[in-house]
Amino acid sequence: MKHKAPFVLALALATICLSVVSAAQALKPVQLPPPQTTGGRPLMEVLKDRKSTREFGSGALSQQTLSNLLWAAFGINRPDGRRTAPSAMNWQEVSIYVATPSGVYVYDAKATVLEPVLTGDFRAATGTQPFVKDAAVNLVYVSDLSKTDGAASSEAELYTAADVGFIAQNVYLYCASEGLATVVRASVDKPALAKTLKLQPQQRIILAQSVGYPKK
């Protein structure tokens, strides 16, 4: 009997490990279609309709819509690799984490790929407000201060906050053009979410943004 407890414990740990590995393997990179970079509504009309919405209807974004959204946010729009949003000193220090019902991914703008981070629905963990879990996707803007070329901490934080603001506004304009609902959010339990996303010490969560269909 004395030998059964260690055996049972080892068996339980092995089962848990296999479950974790299996779950991780289930979430694979998502190759998004090339973004559609033409069309859309006139800029002045889009600016007139730009707004924050905190109620979301049901329905997932298509892969094409998600590709277009992320390209508008911070995609590559020139052969030299520069982006649709300004970046201080071209640091490109901001990563976009994408929380969907199936898992959390990070957007690879060069490959137009969603790289897997976590399996499972973590949308609710990206904010403290109840509506967050209802949005089709939640974008989490994470800056990597190791890419800021040794700038003073206060300057790096200011610049990266501005860079995230540009990205968030691009999302607002895209959503206004496409009839989607969105709101940028600072109400995030940043320490808890950073732990969930397994961020490194130099990575900082700046803001999050919910995107989905308007509630009818």
Alpha-carbon gap, residue 183 to 197, rounded angstroms:
21
pLDDT at 25: 57
pLDDT at 116: 98
Please tell me whether residue 184 adopts helix, strand or coil conformation: strand
Location of structure tokens 């900082």: 204
The pTM of this model reads 0.88
Alpha-carbon gap, residue 136 to 133, rounded angstroms:
8
Cα atoms in the Cβ-side hemisphere of radius 13 Å centred on 216: 4
Q: Where are the beta strands (DSSP E) in 45-102?
A: 94-99
Q: What is the pLDDT along the chain (216 residues), one digit of tens a residue?
A: 444 544 444 444 444 444 444 444 578 999 999 999 999 999 999 999 999 999 999 999 999 999 999 999 999 999 999 999 999 999 999 999 999 999 999 999 999 999 999 999 999 999 999 999 999 999 999 999 999 998 998 899 999 999 999 999 999 999 999 999 999 999 999 999 999 999 999 999 999 999 999 998
pLDDT at 26: 77
Alpha-carbon gap, residue 140 to 188, rounded angstroms:
10
Dihedral-angle region of residue 113 (phi above 0 means left; psi in -120 to 50 means alpha; beta otherwise): beta
CATH superfamily of 29-212: NADH Oxidase (3.40.109.10)
pLDDT at 23: 46
pLDDT at 216: 86
Burial of 51 (0-12, 13-18, 19+ CB in 10 A): exposed
Six-digit token pair at 3?
Answer: 């030998």
Structural domain spans, the chain? 29-212
Strand order in the sheet with 113-119: 30-31, 113-119, 103-108, 94-99, 137-144, 203-212, 181-185
Please tell me whether residue 96 adopts helix, strand or coil conformation: strand
